[in-house]
Structure formats: structure tokens, C-alpha cells
Amino acid sequence: MSLKAVLFDFNGVIINDESIHEQLIKQILIEENLTLKKGELNQVCLGRSDRNCLRELLASRGRVVSENYLTVLLNRKATMYALEVEKREKLPLYAGLDDLIFQVRSRDLKLALVSGAIRKEIELVLEHSKLVEQFKIIVAGDDIAKSKPEPDGYVLAVERLNQEYPELNLQPSECLAIEDTPDGIQAAKRAGMQVVGVANTYPFHMMQRLANWAVDYLSDLELERVQEVYSIPQVTTNNCI
């Protein structure tokens, strides 16, 4: 077995925009004559798709809405998100991201992005941060019916990588996922992948307990060491890097 692809989560791994999302979801709920409780966003939404987040928040208040109406709300949020991004001279990307992408590219590994965020928001950030060419394969919340912790997004990413690179013959066990939440880690593991948990959102000790590897920052990830481990059959590791 060898490492062939690295799959990134988006919110909490590439961009530190949780405060923006909280502000926008709070605004969406206000427009629905509802309020967001303290700590509720972390409990209900972290690691899950925007659609799943809004559906659960509304359902907890006795609002059962159609998928079409959820799409209207998500498009409204995407418009507000774009305005927030446009206002910022510099996006809050996580330190070490460029260096990690360079590590991946220099080892001829494939890149993909797997997120519960909607595609409009992902592509907007990638365009503004000049990362569009790096992530040709994107699985967004729009593409899957089930949110993390279900493995559907990661399974679809492997399918799309194989479509883009037929000679790759990629298997989930040859992928490394980079996640920041328990739901994201569980999704990647259920898809058959090993996972690096980066302590951007949850504490290091939790990432160390749940993921195969744990790092405080993206810059701490030594991809060369990870590749060496992939050459060892049937690895089950929980390490710091």
C-alpha cells in the first residue's frame, strides 16, 4: 500500500471562518423569527453540512421545511457569505496551508477537497486565495445527500479522482484525510481512510484519541513520515507528528 492522495476538509482546515458562519446562520434564523442559542452552532453544526445544520436547527424549533426551501436559505446564506469575503483584504486561511500543499504536490500526490459547505462558498474562497488550480476535485455539500459523519463525501471523492486520473486506480486505503472535527474524522475512517486530526477546532488530545495522527498546526504535519507508515501493511496508528 502507498499513499496516493490527500483529501482536505474545508472549514476548519483551509479557512478559519466559523465566526462568519455563526453570524450568517444567526441572521438566517432571525429572518425566520428564531434565535440561535449560545453554543448551539458547535453542538449541532460543526463538521456537518450546511444543509444538515439548518435542517436540524429548524426542526428543533418545530419547523419542518422542504428541501427546496432549505436550498433557498442556503443560497441566501451563500450570497451573504460572498459579501463577507469581498469585504476582507485577506482571508483567514490557516497558517501552513501553502507549505502543506507544496509538500503534497512535490511528492506527486493527488489533491481533493471534501466538505459539507456548499460549492458556491468553497469556489469563492479558492478563487480569492488563488487555490483553484490546486483543488480540481471538489465534493461539496451540494453533491451528497448525507452529511458527515456518513462516509458518502469521501467515497465520492475517490470515485471522482479515479475518473480524473484513470491510471491511478485509487483505493480509499491509499488516501489520507485531513480533518478538524470528530464527525469529519469518523466519515473518513468509515470510508476506509487514515486521518490526520488538526487541532484547529477541538483540542489536541481529542484529535489524538480519534485520528490516526494528530497535529496542533498544519505546519507540524511531516508528510514524509506519513508516507513511510503507509508502506507498512495494516497500520493502525494514533500518533503525534
Q: What residue ranges do the domains of the chain occupy?
A: 5-16+93-240, 18-87
Can you say whether residue 12 is alpha, beta or left, with left for phi > 0 and alpha for psi between -120 and 50 degrees? Answer: left
* Mean pLDDT, the chain cut into blocks of 10 residues (241 residues total): 95 95 94 92 89 94 94 94 91 96 96 95 95 96 93 98 96 98 97 98 97 97 92 61 63
CATH superfamily of 5-16+93-240: HAD superfamily/HAD-like (3.40.50.1000)
Instruction: Supply the pLDDT for residue 234.
Output: 56
Q: What is the pLDDT of residue 42?
A: 87
List beta partners, residue 198: 215
Pair 160, 135: CB distance under 8 Å: no
Q: Whole-model pTM?
A: 0.91
Q: Is 194 left (phi over 0), alpha (psi -120 to 50) or beta?
A: beta
Domain 18-87 has CATH 1.10.150: yes
Four-CA torsion 211, 43, 150, 56, nearest 10 degrees:
-170
Asked if 46 contacts 22 with a C-beta cutoff of 8 angstroms, the reply is: no
Cβ burial, residue 89 (10 Å; 0-12/13-18/19+): exposed
Pairing relation of β-strands 5-8 and 194-198?
A: unpaired
Task: Look at residues 164, 188, 190, 191 and name the one whose alpha carbon lies nearest to residue 177.
Answer: 188
